[in-house]
């Protein structure tokens, strides 16, 4: 059976290239492994190397595949743009290697087009690259070679080049001669060419990307190179914060986490309101250990310490209580919170953060790094103003993530003037994910008994609403469940 046209073209190119020409980059480029050199069924996906259709002879127009929230930064192509590509599946995974933060590495990109510089800069602002130090400049391969004649090379060099064939290989050899041991190189190319892709990998290039690209494509390539494959798991982190004090953010965080755990998903609550946290009271737990011990000495945090500090509430729910004392001021660096949260998420599928109402560097950085955010507010002017400020800031900071969820709580307080939900949503610019009525008897009884709302009245609007919110966060349907046998044995049913 005769080969298809793309196969014939690829074979002709393979014959044309001098693949026997030895390239000696072993001291500079790290080979991605023998498995990467084997043909992959289905061929690499878009954003890495598009399917081998007609091989482009000219540099393709640069464009973003899908809406990334920065349309103003890129000029529209002269011809009608193709239909936006669907968001890559990896980007929406709630847990996995792609959603872990990239380690503290240095990255330098040498681009041929300003559009590519803007793409790299947008990727660098993403929460997954927050730890990395990233630079982007124009000049392409020649600029990279010239720059590193007298400079140490970073952990990763991104190079955009429209060249193909021997000219490209010769310049890559020059770059290899000035690279330090351990430096990885990723090429942003122009040709959807399987033969070129395989030859670049054979010569030690770590990855080959072809436009159209999104920041998430670039982030995935970097994550695949630098995140430890032996520890790929990372649980999903959801942060709850109140737009103002007294709106019930902690109560919603605890009840939503309980709902997730009742759906048989291992869940952990971190009460980070260190002086005034109420998680211990809400779950009727009065353990001597608390999260303060880990935050005070983050260098000691490991699996053993985390296991010792957590309190098991139900079969699938663990609790890290706050110290809830005023004996110290808890002025800690943001890195301490990051270390503890990272350690907890490395062994728990879902982590719920109960953040205090406040604004400082660690709260801001913790919100920025979370996978999902829930802003709880009330239907009054202060609640609207603060919720809008938080929503707009976080949406802008996290342009590659979904917007925060808005929960309007305590709606319908007798004799209290309120902003109608329709007007509230219009001013906010976002429909609330959940509107909860004012039910003081149920909430008061639950708080005094150290129980969850569902344990007090499973068919209440509050219980059903929190099950709905838990479903939005986890991406799975969560129904109202009866208290588990384990909970009843502990006297919580």
Residue 202 pLDDT? 87
Q: Which of 60-74, 82-96, 195-209 has the highest mean pLDDT?
A: 195-209
pLDDT for 171 beyond 70: yes
pLDDT of 413-434, one tens digit each?
999 999 999 999 999 999 999 9
The two three-digit tokens of residue 4, written as one number: 């298809």
d(CA 155, CA 153): 7
SS3 369: helix
pLDDT digits (tens, 9 = 90+) for 258-305: 999 998 888 999 999 999 999 999 999 877 788 998 999 999 998 889
Class of domain 236-489: alpha beta
pLDDT-derived band of residue 232, with 50, 70 and 90 as boundaries? low
- Mean pLDDT for the chain overall: 79
Torsion of CA 173, 219, 360, 244, to 10 degrees: 170
176: which residues sit within 8 A by CB, 6+ positions away?
A: 23, 24, 25, 27, 28, 29, 204
Confidence (pLDDT) at 405: 96
Q: Look at residue 82 and tell me whether its pLDDT is greater than 90.
A: no
352 is written with which tokens? 């719920």
Residue 481 pLDDT class (50, 70, 90 cuts): low
- State the pLDDT at residue 7: 43
- The confidence band for 211, taking pLDDT boundaries of 50, 70 and 90, is confident
CATH fold of 17-33+94-230, please?
Rossmann fold (3.40.50)
Going from N- to C-terminal start, the domains of the chain cover: 17-33+94-230, 236-489
Over residues 353-376, the pLDDT tens digits come to 999 999 999 999 999 999 999 999
Measure the CA–CA gap between 315 and 265, rounded to whole angstroms: 10
CA angle 329, 333, 336 (to 5 degrees): 105
- pTM for this prediction: 0.66
25-64 per-residue burial string, b: 16 or more CB within 10 A, e: under 16: beebbbebeeeeeeeeeeebebbbbbebeebbeebbebbb
Rounded mean pLDDT, 121-130 = 91
Q: Strand pairing partners for 373? A: 239
Is residue 212 reached through a cis peptide bond, with omega within 30 degrees of 0 on the bond before it?
Answer: yes
Check pLDDT > 80 for residue 338. yes
CA distances from residue 467 to 81, 245, 253, 313, 326 in whole angstroms, order as listed: 41, 23, 12, 19, 34
The pLDDT of residue 28: 41
- Beta carbons of 298 and 336 less than 8 angstroms apart: yes
Q: Could you tell me if 89 and 96 are in contact, meaning their C-beta atoms sit under 8 angstroms apart?
A: no
Whether the predicted pLDDT of 386 surpasses 70: yes
Q: Which of the residue ranges 203-212, 380-389, 408-417 would you say has the lowest mean pLDDT?
A: 203-212
State the pLDDT confidence band at 347, using cuts at 50, 70 and 90. Answer: confident
- Domains 17-33+94-230 and 236-489 alike in fold: yes
- Burial class from Cβ neighbours inside 10 Å (0-12, 13-18, 19+) for residue 461 reads middle
Q: What percent of the chain has pLDDT over 70?
A: 76
> What is d(CA 112, CA 114) in angstroms, rounded to the nearest whole number?
7
CB-based burial label for 453 (10 Å; 0-12, 13-18, 19+): buried
pLDDT-based confidence at residue 131 (cuts at 50, 70, 90) = confident
- CA–CA distance, 257 with 467 (Å, rounded to integer): 10
Give the pLDDT of residue 479.
Answer: 67
């Amino acid at each position: 059976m005769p080969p298809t046209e793309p196969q014939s073209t690829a074979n002709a190119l393979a014959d044309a290239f001098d693949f026997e020409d030895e390239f000696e980059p072993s001291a500079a480029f790290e080979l991605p492994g023998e498995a990467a050199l084997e043909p992959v069924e289905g061929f690499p996906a878009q954003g890495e190397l598009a399917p081998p259709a007609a091989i482009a002879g000219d540099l393709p127009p640069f464009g973003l595949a899908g809406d990334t929230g920065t349309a103003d930064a890129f000029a529209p192509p002269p011809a009608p743009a193709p239909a936006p590509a669907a968001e890559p599946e990896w980007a929406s995974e709630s847990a996995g290697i792609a959603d872990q933060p990239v380690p503290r590495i240095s990255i330098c990109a040498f681009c041929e087009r300003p559009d590519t510089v803007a793409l790299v800069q947008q990727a660098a602002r993403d929460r997954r690259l927050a730890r990395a130090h990233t630079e982007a400049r124009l000049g392409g391969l020649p600029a990279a070679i010239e720059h590193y004649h007298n400079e140490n090379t970073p952990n990763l060099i991104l190079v955009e080049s429209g060249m193909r064939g021997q000219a490209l290989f010769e310049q890559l050899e020059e770059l290899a001669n000035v690279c330090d041991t351990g430096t990885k190189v990723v090429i942003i190319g122009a040709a959807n060419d399987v033969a070129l892709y395989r030859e670049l990998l054979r010569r030690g290039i770590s990855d080959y990307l072809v436009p159209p690209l999104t920041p998430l494509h670039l982030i995935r390539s970097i994550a695949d190179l630098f995140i430890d494959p032996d520890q790929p798991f990372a649980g999903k982190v959801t942060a709850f914060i109140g737009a103002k004090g007294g709106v019930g953010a902690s109560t919603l965080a605890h009840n939503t986490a309980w709902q997730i755990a009742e759906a048989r998903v291992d869940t952990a609550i971190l009460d980070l309101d260190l002086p005034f946290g109420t998680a211990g009271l809400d779950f009727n737990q009065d353990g001597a250990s608390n999260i303060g011990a880990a935050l005070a000495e983050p260098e000691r945090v490991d699996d053993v310490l985390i296991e010792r500090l957590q309190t098991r509430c139900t079969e699938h729910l663990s609790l890290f209580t706050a110290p809830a004392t005023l004996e110290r001021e808890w002025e800690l660096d943001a890195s301490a919170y990051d270390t503890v949260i990272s350690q907890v998420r490395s062994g728990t599928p879902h982590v719920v953060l109960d953040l205090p109402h406040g604004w400082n560097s660690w709260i801001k950085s913790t919100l920025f790094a979370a996978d999902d955010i829930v802003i709880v507010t009330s239907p009054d002017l202060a609640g609207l103003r603060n919720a809008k400020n938080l929503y707009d800031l976080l949406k802008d900071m996290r342009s590659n993530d979904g917007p925060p969820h808005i929960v309007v709580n305590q709606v319908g307080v007798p004799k209290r003037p309120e902003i109608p939900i329709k007007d509230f949503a219009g001013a906010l610019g976002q429909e609330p994910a959940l509107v909860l009525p004012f039910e003081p008897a149920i909430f008061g009884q639950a708080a005094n008994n150290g129980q969850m709302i569902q344990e007090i009245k499973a068919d209440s609007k509050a219980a059903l609403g929190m099950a709905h919110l838990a479903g939005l966060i986890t991406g799975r349907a969560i129904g109202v469940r009866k208290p588990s046998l384990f909970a009843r044995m502990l006297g919580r049913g």
